[in-house]
Amino acid sequence: MSDDEAVYDLSPAGRIMVLLAVISATTIYSSSILISSALLPKLQGALGATQDEVSWTMTFNIVATAVVTPMTGWISERFGRRNVMVWCAVIFGISTFFCGASSSLNELIFWRIIQGGAGAPLIPLGQAVLLDAYPRVQHGFIMAIFGMANMIGPSLGPNLAGEVSEAFSWRWAFWMIVPVSVVTVILCRFAIPTRAKRHTTKLDWGGFLTLTVAIVCVQLMFSRGQRLDWFESSEIIAAAFLAIVAFYMFIVHSLTAKEPFVRLSLFKDRNYSLGMALVFIFGMLNFAPVVLLPPLLQNHAGYPDTAIGLFIGWRGFGTLIGFFVAMLTARVDPRIMMMGGFFLQGYGGYEMMQFDLNVGESRLAFWSVVQGSGIGVTWVPMTLVTFYTLKPEMRAEAMAMYHLVRNFGSSLFISIAVAEIVRATGNNYARMVEYASPYNKMWGMPGTSGAWSIESLEGMAKFSNEITRQAVLLGNVNAFLMYSLIAFLAIPLCLLARLPKAKN
């Protein structure tokens, strides 16, 4: 079989059915990742939990995803890709139903853990199946379509969940996914082909357990660090220590074991190693604007919930444009496309640094589209370059690590950005209140002081509120400065990619 041929011998109709099955599986999982973020206030009231307690519904779902994702390669080799995707979709649908039927916080957390673990293999396995189902000449087009489902789901999922919970109840935000899960099970069962040859390797428990401990501790540290004041908390110190020790043991074990849980030899492939670095940066940029901007716009710029939904929708529209551009420019040097995509993300972040609390909807929408288009333009060539030189039998394991690193990058940057916003807000507030002195001559200028005053409680409250708004804005400026610098720093890395040699 030529390297340019598909692994699976399918008819055009069969390939379309495989594509529909993978898109369905990708959409149900990606839309559920951040779905509880839109439901936290309602869950807190309905389940009688504190803000810290209800946040575990997101934390444990992310942790379960992080634990199961690196197992994808071994599970698929042991049980077969089709069987794994079918049963993962079944368990995902059942757990999603019981998430909506939960009557207590502990029950909801349990089913969110099952949901995250069951859904984790769907994205890396789906991507590997698509690469095997289509010839290499069509990989760019297929990865663009796959990327749309993978990227737009997390953007639209929380928005749709919020609308459904307002109209009905928070339970329906979970239940609306169940019918799509049933369709996914049927499509995966009858559309995804099987491979004749499978390896029956044993699970490397040493590598699995050490990597699991490291991942769990890092995810807990990122998820709870801001609430617990980072290394002022003994919990965060313990998690960081265990993560370092476990990861060191994992590396040592992987280098000495005959059949390690994760083959570090994958990183001998130059394009794959570069792709892992790029997807880590890509993950840092992926969801940051969706997480950082809505609280600023809603709490301090006076935007209503519907406008926040439109902002997320415009970014999703930009992502669609980016994927279409990537499809139409499939023959362009992928390094140029990646550089262009990272530039769009970086420049979009730079323009978002210029936003003030009076930013108009049109300006917000335009730069959201630009930033979102950078996501789409980057994803397709980055994926193709990363996996171009890997053998098909290594794709499932390599895909699992690829998406694990992407998710890790997202968690890391969001935690760092939120921490910077909190730090900068406190520091800038302390500096600005120094000017709230009765000796400041500006208080004698009505055109400047307006409704602010230090002679009445109402005037002081308004003045304090305005200082808080401006301090939070400066914190977000710092966060988007980091965002832009990271995007621009990725551009020279793209030049290191090795392109396929032209055939005569």
* Model pLDDT, residue 504: 39
Q: What percent of the chain stands above pLDDT 90? A: 23
Per-residue model confidence as pLDDT tens digits over 480-504: 999 999 999 999 999 998 876 544 3
Which is nearest to 371 in space by CA: 358, 355, 357?
Answer: 355
464 or 2, greater pLDDT: 464
CA distance 276 to 274: 5
pLDDT tens digits along 260-317: 888 888 888 889 999 999 999 998 888 788 778 877 887 788 877 666 667 777 887 8
- pLDDT tens sequence across 377-409: 998 889 888 888 887 777 777 887 888 888 788
Most confident segment among 72-81, 118-127, 192-201, 395-404: 118-127
Helix (H, G, I), strand (E, B) or coil at 331: coil
* Positive or negative torsion for Cα 238, 243, 248, 253: positive
**Alpha helices of 48-138 — where are they, by DSSP H?**
51-54, 56-68, 72-79, 81-101, 105-119, 122-133
pLDDT at position 343: 96
Q: 9-43: per-residue pLDDT in tens?
A: 778 888 889 889 998 898 888 888 767 666 766 77
pLDDT tens for residues 417-427? 888 888 888 88
DSSP 195-208: -S----PPP-HHHH
Contact 260, 211 (CB under 8 A): no
H-only helix segments in 358-394? 361-387
pLDDT of the residue at 305: 62
Q: How many Å is the Cα radius of gyration of the chain? A: 24
pLDDT tens-digit profile of 209-225?
Answer: 898 899 888 877 877 77
Question: Which residue type sits at 410?
Answer: S
Q: Is the pLDDT of residue 72 over 70?
A: yes
The owner of tokens 């640094």 is 353
Confidence grade of residue 94 (pLDDT, cut at 50, 70, 90): very high
- How far is it, in rounded angstroms, from Cα 448 to Cα 456? 17
pLDDT at 373 over 80: yes
Residue 252, pLDDT score? 93
pTM score, whole prediction = 0.80
Q: What is the mean pLDDT of residues 137-158?
A: 75
Name the residue among 169, 394, 367 with its Cα closest to residue 269.
394
Mean pLDDT, all residues of the chain: 82
Distance, CA of 63 to CA of 228 (rounded, Å): 18
Residue 351 belongs to what H/E stretch? helix 334-353
Q: Are 369 and 317 in contact (CB under 8 A)?
A: yes
